């Protein structure tokens, strides 16, 4: 007999809960509450220097960590215990724990994999930056909830600044690992054009990590990043200075449907088209600003076409981010298409075709991103 039964009136009458399913769901929810709470501890680990202190030691006790980071020992003790329970640090099983304290003389260490995720911003697996995004959405929760109640959007620029920092840090490892070594070479003729010296627009560039990564690799080409958010552009300019690429980069405030220039060899959209109110309008503008044999590189979160395709951990992250960030951002702009961060290839292809592109293919993908090539 099924757990629910249809009554003659068509309403469904619930049978009692399946206890095994309930237990497993409770366990998942407890795990998730733990993850949500521990997000604050991951941020503390960055802000108070716990992660970097650990990465400089073979192993460490709570007392040593407290001393190194200049905090009372009970904080270090509880923080280490929570990370051990999360699987984010390892404990030394041979060490005794004291009877009257939580960790006693226990020693903790970071495995190389844990260090890559939490300590090294240059590692392709660095994820600690993503927690700044988490902090921003909790900070903005009351205002986003109010926007939803009022039936309005919530613009990218309205968010707490932690979102901009978190977005930079969350996407940076993927761009550094894949953009110039895999994504650009996967596009037809683009590597050759940029090596010879081409014109590139990076639309919705944010902090311009993608712009500077490309500018470093292709010194003969010129790169201009456009975004409507001035605060992000200021950071992009500072980053270009830091990276020594001011000679072939520029940043300008413009919307995706009104930036200047023509005959671009490459126009890029990195993880931003679905945030825009009018993705078709943005692609139409790109189509008109492109050189006759130019290319649009559309990088979007990896997603299948159906909900069922995306019911996995990556889909979960992006659907949640989409609810709190991308969908409100799109609804705050004209048209308000609200593509969502899991739009999938078919809907993106339809947008590209409506905008006048005749050639569309998925050039390559990673576990997180798909790289789509659009040509006139």
CA atoms of 159 and 329, how far apart (whole Å): 10
| Residues from 146 through 175 that contact ligand SAM (CB under 6 A) | 156, 167-168, 171
Nearer to ligand SAM by C-beta: 23 or 334? 334
Nearest to 117 by CA among 108, 130, 107: 130
| Residues from 175 through 204 that contact ligand SAM (CB under 6 A) | 204
Nearer to ligand SAM by C-beta: 116 or 273? 273
264 and 199 Cβ atoms separated by less than 8 Å: yes
271 contacts ligand SAM (rule: CB under 6 A)? yes
> Binding residue for ligand SAM (CB under 6 A) from 265, 275, 365, 373?
275
- Tokens matching residue 49: 């220097």
Nearer to ligand SAM by C-beta: 228 or 360? 228
Q: Within a 10 A sphere around the Cβ of 2, how many other Cβ atoms?
A: 6
Max distance between CA atoms of the chain, in angstroms, equals 74
User: How far apart are CB 164 and ligand SAM at their closest, in Å?
Assistant: 7
319 contacts ligand SAM (rule: CB under 6 A)? no
* Residue 133 exposure: Cα atoms within 13 Å on the Cβ side: 19
211 contacts ligand SAM (rule: CB under 6 A)? no
> Binding residue for ligand SAM (CB under 6 A) from 62, 115, 256, 374?
256
CA atoms of 159 and 148, how far apart (whole Å): 15
Nearer to ligand SAM by C-beta: 194 or 268? 268
Nearer to ligand SAM by C-beta: 108 or 251? 251
327 contacts ligand SAM (rule: CB under 6 A)? no
Applying CB under 6 A, the site for ligand SAM has a residue count of 23
User: How far apart are CB 336 and ligand SAM at their closest, in Å?
Assistant: 11
For 31, residues 6+ apart whose C-beta sits below 8 A from its C-beta are none
Intra-chain end-to-end CA distance of the chain, in Å: 56
- Provide the CA 111 distance to its chain's centre, in angstroms: 24
Nearer to ligand SAM by C-beta: 71 or 368? 368
255 contacts ligand SAM (rule: CB under 6 A)? yes
265 contacts ligand SAM (rule: CB under 6 A)? no
Nearer to ligand SAM by C-beta: 187 or 341? 341
CA atoms of 65 and 57, how far apart (whole Å): 10
The DSSP secondary-structure symbol of 60 reads B
CA atoms of 316 and 133, how far apart (whole Å): 15
Residues that bind ligand SAM (CB under 6 A): 156, 167-168, 171, 204-207, 209-210, 227-229, 232, 255-256, 270-272, 275-276, 329, 333
């Amino acid at each position: 007999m099924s757990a629910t039964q249809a009554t003659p009136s068509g309403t469904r009458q619930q049978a009692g809960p399946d206890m095994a399913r309930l237990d497993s769901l409770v366990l998942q929810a407890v795990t998730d509450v733990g993850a949500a709470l521990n997000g604050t501890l991951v941020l503390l680990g960055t802000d108070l220097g716990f992660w970097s202190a650990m990465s400089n030691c073979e192993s460490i006790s709570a007392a040593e960590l407290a001393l190194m980071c200049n905090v009372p020992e009970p904080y270090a003790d509880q923080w280490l215990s929570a990370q051990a329970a999360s699987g984010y640090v390892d404990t030394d099983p041979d060490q005794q724990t004291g009877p009257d304290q939580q960790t006693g003389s226990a020693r903790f260490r970071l495995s190389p994999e844990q260090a890559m995720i939490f300590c090294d911003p240059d590692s392709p697996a660095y994820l600690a930056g993503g927690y700044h995004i988490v902090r921003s959405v909790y900070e903005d929760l009351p205002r986003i909830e109010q926007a939803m109640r009022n039936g309005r959007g919530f613009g990218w620029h309205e968010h707490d600044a932690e979102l901009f920092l978190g977005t930079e840090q969350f996407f940076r490892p993927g761009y550094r690992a894949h953009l110039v070594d895999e994504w650009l070479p996967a596009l037809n003729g683009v590597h050759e054009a940029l090596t010879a010296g081409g014109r590139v627009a990076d639309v919705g560039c944010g902090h311009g990590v993608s712009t500077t990564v490309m500018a470093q690799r292709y010194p003969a080409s010129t790169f201009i990043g456009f975004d409507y958010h001035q605060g992000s552009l200021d950071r992009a300019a500072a980053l270009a200075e830091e990276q020594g690429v001011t000679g072939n980069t520029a940043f300008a405030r413009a919307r995706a449907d009104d930036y200047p220039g023509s005959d671009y060899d490459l126009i890029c959209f990195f993880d931003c088209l679905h945030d825009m109110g009018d993705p078709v309008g943005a692609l139409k503008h790109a189509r008109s600003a492109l050189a006759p044999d130019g290319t649009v590189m559309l990088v979007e979160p990896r997603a299948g076409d159906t909900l069922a395709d995306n019911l996995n951990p990556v889909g979960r992250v992006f659907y949640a981010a989409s609810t709190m960030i991308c969908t409100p951002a799109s609804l705050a702009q004209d048209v308000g298409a609200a593509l969502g961060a899991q739009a999938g290839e078919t809907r993106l292809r339809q947008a590209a075709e409506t905008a006048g592109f005749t050639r569309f293919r998925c050039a390559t993908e990673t576990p997180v991103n798909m790289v789509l090539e659009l040509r006139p």
